[in-house]
Chains A and B, each alone.
Chain A
């Protein structure tokens, strides 16, 4: 079995920190939106936690952005090109059919290009669209009076809230698919382990989403 070093340490730390932040923000966010679904005993605590975890998420996003800018990884791993677009149907077909018939995965990750076309589409949507939207709307919420001019430009508090929540729902939908697809490796925990150790154990087998 060949092992390749796919996920450098900073990326792994970022991934798990980001995972923790997003899950916590989701729990507190649901509590904020529907006070009957409690995440922390005090609504006030939840309000404060959601706010400060949000700041951390913004920092985490900046870390990710600068890390990949610095290592020039954005183009390699995240930016979708024509070849990727063409590969999307094939990759989707793999998960829906070929995966069950023990067929070979159409994509093999390498340190130079570690995400398959579907992964690229999903991750770049999350990182370039959802993340900035939820962070910016969240920052606008952090001091409503201070940012009121901008909130007004968006269409008011209620519209801002709608954008923030819709993005939140997108994160939720993405998260369950992401977690489920992490189990599609050789073993159920294969991909999770590789995200902890950094080493992909089966580079010539399927790739994870």
Chain B
């Protein structure tokens, strides 16, 4: 009984409540008679008109109540941030009058330069890059029309018969066409991608969106027509090639700083020095006056690979030499005058001598010998040894003064050695740590060995220990007589003729005249002990001879 009353109530009271119909509205709002917004009634949006007469000032209709997803997307967009409402583009009462498109406002805008600009702009709408595009929503098609000649079998296109044409099969097929059907075929490529213009953001889709992991273009077809007709599914990469190094790019120095492909690549031409100059003005100022540019020999990208995951400072001496040796192939022969030529090149890079204004440093690194080969320890080695990430800087720099002295290094080294099966060593090389890009110094006439083979050599004031870390290497400054100090000197793979030997300060320290604490300092002396003992014995013998001479004079012998 109650149920029947309830049903009657809904049937009777419901319609009574929705008394305001569009026709009622049109009595006053004549102009909206032909309004068109799907099946929506006036009161669906203008909710505060449920009873007539309505208030003079009505609340703003909320599109988001129905268009939830679109509104959420739009809320994040640059247009929304600029205060544009839906009405600015959509004729909300008369949808049939059409919607504004990008060009309605951005008329005549010159699109920035991107590689293959015409092709990109012709085959895709603005919203593909500037709006929001769903993953896997785009498709592409490669149409091949062969107008004459013999039939083409399926297996010519898809030899592995998996019904998908991959990159290798596509390349082979196109080569086959060129060889057997030259001038008898045409190729066209079409792309179907649609972005949502509601999601226009400041940052457009990057190149890797389509040319990276292929997540946007998930489907592609290869359609053959003419002498034979087939349609194959295809790897989208045959139409949207994956850019070389795109995967690693985000881990490169440039990638980490958020520099996009098109910040440098404005066409498919190789980038010029002017591109680099946009950011690296100061460095280029030095470089442009150097012999490399004057002779037009080298562009920035001849030496630097902006796509390389490894920053130049992460290169070891050998890798740095390899950069120069791309052009200066005969560098060993050119240095025949240098004693131990190849040995020198094991420890130096070219800039050590040829860029006099660069800052040279001795850099030490940890290495291991495995199977007669020497190799630097990697972060992985360290992680394995410590069973997880180790904050090496704090471990090694026990006193926390942001500098390593020989005792800290030897303590660390000996402790580390216990964690390794292989024999460890401390490698060293003399490389540039702050580059001055003027390589005009040929230095062929000077050949001054004592620039380096002297205790006054500049790199003794600039020494670093390089340790592998999770991302880059840590550069920790090194102080003191680390090269000769015991016991670390024995493990050090770097020995320089003309290193600092014993000096007056050492003798004063040993005799206790310097007022310094002698413990530890004595250990620092390391190989200097040879000279200390040698000179001491020399003095003792001289004194003995003097006494003998005095005896001879005295006894008239």
Give chain A's interface residues, CB within 8 Å of chain B. 32-36, 42-44, 47-48, 51, 99-102, 143-145, 155-159, 161-162, 165-166, 169, 172-173, 176-177, 180
Of B107-115, B382-390, B486-494, the one contacting chain A is: B486-494
With A32-B497, A34-B501, A165-B530 known as contacts, the answer to whether A158 contacts B453 (CB < 8 A) is: no
A-side contacts of B346, CB under 8 Å: 145
- Bound Cα distance from A163 to B447, whole angstroms: 29
Contacting pair A43 B552 (CB below 8 A): no
- Bound Cα distance from A35 to B499, whole angstroms: 9
What would 17 A/B residue contacts be, using CB atoms closer than 8 Å?
A32-B497, A33-B497, A36-B454, A43-B450, A43-B498, A44-B339, A47-B497, A99-B557, A100-B557, A101-B555, A145-B343, A156-B490, A156-B493, A156-B495, A158-B489, A169-B533, A169-B534
Contacting pair B340 A159 (CB below 8 A): no
Give chain B's interface residues, CB within 8 Å of chain A. 337, 339-340, 342-343, 346, 447-450, 453-455, 489-490, 492-493, 495, 497-498, 501, 527, 530-531, 533-534, 537-538, 541-542, 545, 548, 551-552, 555, 557
Contacting pair A32 B342 (CB below 8 A): no
Main secondary structure of the interface of A (DSSP, over half): helix
Which 9 residue pairs of A and B lie closest in terms of their CB atoms, listed nearest first? A169-B534, A43-B449, A157-B495, A35-B498, A158-B495, A100-B555, A35-B454, A180-B545, A43-B450
- Bound Cα distance from A99 to B339, whole angstroms: 50
Contacting pair B545 A35 (CB below 8 A): no
Contacting pair B557 A173 (CB below 8 A): no
Counting chain A CB atoms within 10 Å of each CB, which of B346, B447, B530 scores highest?
A: B530
11 additional A-B pairs beyond A156-B493, A166-B530, beta carbons within 8 Å, are A42-B449, A43-B453, A43-B498, A47-B497, A100-B552, A143-B340, A156-B490, A158-B495, A161-B527, A166-B534, A180-B545
- Bound Cα distance from A47 to B340, whole angstroms: 10
Chain B residue nearest in CB terms to A101: B555
Contacting pair B453 A48 (CB below 8 A): no
A-side contacts of B340, CB under 8 Å: 143-145
A-side contacts of B555, CB under 8 Å: 100-101
Contacting pair A33 B501 (CB below 8 A): yes
B-side contacts of A100, CB under 8 Å: 551-552, 555, 557
Counting chain A CB atoms within 10 Å of each CB, which of B448, B454, B495, B551 scores highest?
A: B495
- Bound Cα distance from A63 to B537, whole angstroms: 31
Chain A residue nearest in CB terms to B457: A35
Neighbour of A173 across the interface among B453, B538, B552, CB < 8 A: B538
- Bound Cα distance from A80 to B349, whole angstroms: 53
A-side contacts of B542, CB under 8 Å: 176
Contacting pair A44 B495 (CB below 8 A): no
Shortest Cβ gap from B248 to chain A (Å): 35
B-side contacts of A180, CB under 8 Å: 545, 548
- Bound Cα distance from A48 to B454, whole angstroms: 17
- Bound Cα distance from A17 to B234, whole angstroms: 85
- Bound Cα distance from A155 to B423, whole angstroms: 13
Chain A residue nearest in CB terms to B501: A34
- Bound Cα distance from A176 to B544, whole angstroms: 11
Contacting pair A159 B490 (CB below 8 A): yes
Chain A residue nearest in CB terms to B557: A100
With A35-B450, A100-B555 known as contacts, the answer to whether A173 contacts B541 (CB < 8 A) is: yes
Chain B residue nearest in CB terms to A149: B372
Neighbour of A176 across the interface among B453, B454, B545, CB < 8 A: B545
- Bound Cα distance from A42 to B451, whole angstroms: 12
B-side contacts of A35, CB under 8 Å: 450, 453-455, 498
